[in-house]
Amino acid sequence: MIKHKNTKWMLILFLLLLLLFTLSSSSVFLTPYLYTLNENDPYIKWVDFNVSYTAMKDALKYDIDSYGTSPRINWIELLAYLAAKNGGDFSRYQSKDMSKLVTQLNSGKTIEDLTENMKYYDYYKEAYLAVLGEFVGEYQIETKDDANNSVYETKYGLKAFSPIAKNFYYNHYDDFGNSRSYGFTRKHLGNDLIANVGTPVIAMESGVIEALGWNQYGGWRIGIRSFDKRRYYYYAHLRKDYPYHKSLEIGKEVKAGDVIGYVGRSGYSTTENTNNIRTTHLHFGIELIFSEAQRERNNEIWINVYPIVKLLQSNRSEVYKNEETNGYDRVYDIKITPGLYD
């Protein structure tokens, strides 16, 4: 009997080792988040965006400070390098880690030199480009000259905006992944920004409106697709009766910094225009899209936007009350140059 049991377990162990060997020889095992079994279909399947606010802030400063100089420092390459070193875990990030990297780049090393033997650097670079690729670059912002005429000034830096307008109060915390129970038990795939009813909601990035209208869970909501089609921005629980800026319609292009809607507490109902959310807030989320096959399926990639929203607190769109529409409009127009890292 004992001999029989040993033979059985040895057979099971042999089969497991055989399976492990088979998988380890394929790219899907070595890089499970990168590839499918189909070598002709190598789009990214999953992203855990765990970059900390501090790391993004440090990288952004190095990028902006190097503008117009040589060598140019690319903030996404800095973040991808550190992610490749720490397995995407920024929980123990220290500013000296990035400072050391920048010192090497300024001494003549290239990012290609430093990442030559980093197995997952390309993955993290592509993933972080999908998240942040259009956040930084050249843009022209409207200002006023001495005669109070509108002129455009070219600048370089953040060209993505906080989802809440300038001079309007809000607060938030990292609630990504918290439990939600309305309808069915699920994880919270966004960040809730607590604000007063009617607070102007801002387009974080330029793009095209893909969704506009009522949703049982999100209430009055807006979905905006970035021009490079890698990001889908979701704004939900907008104000009852007057949820959107008057100009909005499906297919319309919006600019980063435009007023698109107003904070409310609509949703959690099959009946349109119902307030069933207890706390007035904006639900804001970003979905990454590497293939259209990922849309509206169980393998959607929603990332933790809390550190991104925190980063963009420094770039908020100023608005004014439009007495004719009883809504809000942006004060200063913007002309955006396509990203430098495409």
Sheet of 334-336, strands arranged across:
150-158, 136-144, 334-336
Confidence of residue 169 (pLDDT cuts 50, 70, 90): very high
Say if residue 37's pLDDT is above 70: no
Calculate the average pLDDT of the chain: 88
User: Given pLDDT bands bounded at 50, 70 and 90, which one contains residue 57?
Assistant: very high
Q: Which residues contact 74 (CB under 8 A, 6 or more apart)?
A: 63, 111, 341
Average pLDDT in the 14-39 region?
44
pLDDT tens-digit profile of 216-231? Answer: 999 999 999 999 999 9
- Select from 3.30.360.10, 2.70.70.10, 3.40.50.920, 2.30.40.10 the CATH code of 179-336: 2.70.70.10
113 sits in which H/E element: helix 111-114
Task: Report pLDDT for 175.
Answer: 82
Quick one: pLDDT band at residue 7, thresholds 50, 70, 90? Answer: low
**Contact present, 210 and 292 (Cβ < 8 Å):** no
What is the pLDDT, as a whole number, of residue 119? 94
d(CA 279, CA 266): 10
pLDDT bin (cut points 50, 70, 90) of residue 11 is: low
d(CA 213, CA 240): 12
CA distance linking residue 154 with residue 337, whole number of Å: 10
pLDDT the model gives residue 187: 81
* Least confident interval from 67-71, 151-155, 291-295: 291-295
Domains of the chain by residue range = 1-30, 53-132, 179-336
* pLDDT score, position 301: 94
Burial of 217 (C-beta count, 10 Å sphere; 0-12/13-18/19+): middle
Checking if the pLDDT of 27 tops 80, the result is: no
pLDDT value at residue 4: 53
Q: How confident is the model at residue 56, as a pLDDT?
A: 98
* 88 has pLDDT over 70: yes
In this prediction, residue 30 has a pLDDT band, given cuts at 50, 70 and 90, of: very low
pLDDT for residue 5: 53
pLDDT for the residue numbered 298: 76
42-51 average pLDDT score: 92
Q: Percent of the chain at pLDDT above 90? A: 77
Q: Catalogue the E-assigned strands of 11-115.
A: none
304-330: pLDDT as tens digits:
999 999 999 999 999 999 999 999 999
**Residue 226 pairs with which residues in a beta bridge?**
207
Which residue has better confidence, 213 or 293?
213
pLDDT of 24 > 50? The answer is no
Amino acid occupying residue 24 = S
